[in-house]
Amino acid sequence: MKKLFLFAALLLCSTVVTIAQPRAIGVNLGPWSSISYEHGFGDANMLDVAANVILPFGNRFGVGGHVTYDWIDPFGATFPWNEQGEWHWYMGVGGSGGFVWENKSNWFYAGVAGHIGFEYDFWFPLQLSLDWRPSLGINNAGNNIGFNGLGLWGPISLGVRYLF
């Protein structure tokens, strides 16, 4: 009975802590558009999860995703701002992966992802951001395992999110 009570108390506390954290959901618009979700861990960290779509360009189309753990205003550097709203910058690291259909061949990519950008949080629940998400890893284009250097030229995107 004690174990059941301890488990229930732990579950309740972790649920309350999770719900109390700031969150945002929205889109990143760019060559690799995505639906993104940010979950804050206090004022200094966040988890960014995104489902990407590589928009058709010529004969290339793809889907993928990335997850990064980001530090907000790292090194204590902030934007001085005396108006309503807040400016922040962030950087993080995580992983990415996905599939690409090109001509008559299909290939996958997977690797380490980076994330760096800045955002403006309005005084109402809206956030605008500009960020870069490079990735570095492997792919199997041409049915050979190789280096995925294309991800280094990863997309720069404009983010629009609802804060809740």
CATH class of 22-163: mainly beta
Kindly tell me if the per-residue pLDDT of 6 is higher than 70: no
Domains of the chain: which residue ranges?
22-163
The answer to whether residues 159 and 131 touch, using CB atoms and an 8 Å cutoff, is: yes
Share of the chain above pLDDT 70, in %: 84
> Which of 84, 79, 164 shows the shortest CA–CA distance to 122?
84
Query: pLDDT (tens digit, 9 = 90+) per residue, 18-57?
Result: 444 589 999 999 877 899 999 999 889 999 999 998 777 6
DSSP 15: H
Predicted TM-score of the model (pTM): 0.80
Query: pLDDT (tens digit, 9 = 90+) per residue, 93-123?
Result: 999 999 988 877 788 989 999 999 999 999 9
Within 23-141, strands assigned E span 23-29, 32-41, 45-57, 60-72, 86-102, 105-121, 126-132, 135-139
Average pLDDT, stretch 142-161? Answer: 80
Query: pLDDT (tens digit, 9 = 90+) per residue, 57-66?
Result: 677 788 999 9
pLDDT at 1: 58
